[in-house]
Structure 1
Amino acid sequence: MTNDELKYRTKQFSLLVLNLVEKLPNSISSRVVINQLAKSATSVGANYRAACRARSDREFVAKLNIVLKEVDETQYWLEIIEEMKWINQSELEFPLKESGELVAIFVSTLKTVNNRLNNK
């Protein structure tokens, strides 16, 4: 997957989650989760773009670790929504699947770049 494809995919993930939060109930506890979820999901794409502008492999790794943290946090909030049963399970399937795939992509990328750095 190219950087441009992943930039597009992470932006689509942000939009997917933002559309999802619009469907959540308006309660005190859900508003806290909505706020956290919206922040972490939109940070994924924004921070990935920043990682792509890194000036070195070490800077790329540092920025990509932030991306990984944000997508993992997004997955956590999606799981909270799932367990609270605030939305139909079928509407959570794709966001949960996509967050898991993004975690796998970023973990794999980090392993590759870290191996390259360690073998220099």
Structure 2
Amino acid sequence: MENNIILDKSKAFAVRIIKFYQYLCDEKKEFVLSKQLLRSGTSIGANARESKNAQSKADFIHKLSISLKEADETAYWIELLIESGIVQENQVHDLYELNIELIKILTSIIRTSKKGGRIN
């Protein structure tokens, strides 16, 4: 399997999101926000993975743009979990920082691709 930073990091992030979702359901009995978090947090990697088989540069950028939107939505759900008092900030700090890192990587790839840079 080839080494691709966004695919590797987004998949590892999805696994962490799944485990956090399980914690929220089992320990906090929180089912609404956690489900939204699960959907957006795992969708980041799914859309990044789809970009591998993009039919064109525009399709590649489009799929990664969806991934970026999902990452931003994931940040929103994490922020709501903190601000509503369901979890403490220190419980999700690392997860949130990983999400911000994904946003930065995706933004960089999209910008480079739009400027005509290499996409592989």
- 2:23 is paired with a residue of what secondary structure? coil
Separation in 2, partners of 1:81, 1:67: 21
Separation in 1, partners of 2:65, 2:5: 19
1:36 aligns with 2:36: yes
Gaps of 5+ in 1: none
| 1:83-110 Cα distance to aligned partner (Å, 9 max, x none) | 1121232220111101111101111111
Match of 2:110 in 1: 110
- 1:73 is paired with a residue of what secondary structure? helix
Could you list the structure 1 runs, at least 4 aligned residues long, displaced by more than 3 angstroms after superposition: none
Separation in 2, partners of 1:99, 1:86: 19
The amino acid that maps onto 2:66 is: I
* Cα displacement (A) at 1:3: 5.7
Q: How many residues align?
A: 113
TM-score normalised per structure 1: 0.86
Gaps of 5+ in 2: none
TM-score normalised per structure 2: 0.86
Separation in 2, partners of 1:73, 1:89: 17
1:60 aligns with 2:54: no
Q: Identity rate of aligned residues, in percent?
A: 31
Greater fraction helix:
1
Match of 2:97 in 1: 97
Match of 1:83 in 2: 83
Separation in 2, partners of 1:34, 1:116: 38
| 1:21-55 Cα distance to aligned partner (Å, 9 max, x none) | 222211xxx32111111001111111110011112
Match of 1:23 in 2: 23
The amino acid that maps onto 2:63 is: K
Contact 2:78 2:96 in 1 (8 A): yes
